[in-house]
Amino acid sequence: MGEQHKCFKELSKVLVEENTRLQFNYLNQNHVFVATERIRNLRDGKKAKRVVASYCPFCGEKLEV
C-alpha cells in the first residue's frame, strides 16, 4: 500500500476546518467510500451498500489498490 492520494490529502485539510472528513477503508487510505442511501425503508434491517471509488472522484486519476 502506497501513500494516500494527493486529492484526499488536500481535501482532508479543508474539511477538518468544517469538522468533516472523507470516509476511508481503515486498511487502505486510497479506498474512499462514495455516499449511498436506501431508496425505500423496507424495515428489513439492511443498510445501503457501500461503494468504493476506483478512480479519484475529484481528478479522475486511477487509485492505487
The cell for 41 is 425503508
Report the pLDDT value the prediction gives residue 43, as an integer from 0 to 100.
87
| Domain coordinates in residue numbering, the chain | 6-52
Strand order in 51-52's β-sheet? 24-25, 28-34, 51-52
Which whole-number Å values give the CA distances from 9 to 26, 30, 42, 52, in the listed order? 15, 10, 37, 17
Asked whether the predicted pLDDT for residue 65 surpasses 70, the reply is: no
Asked whether the predicted pLDDT for residue 11 surpasses 80, the reply is: yes
pLDDT in tens, 29-63: 898 999 998 998 888 888 889 899 999 999 999 99
pLDDT in tens, 16-33: 999 999 999 888 889 899
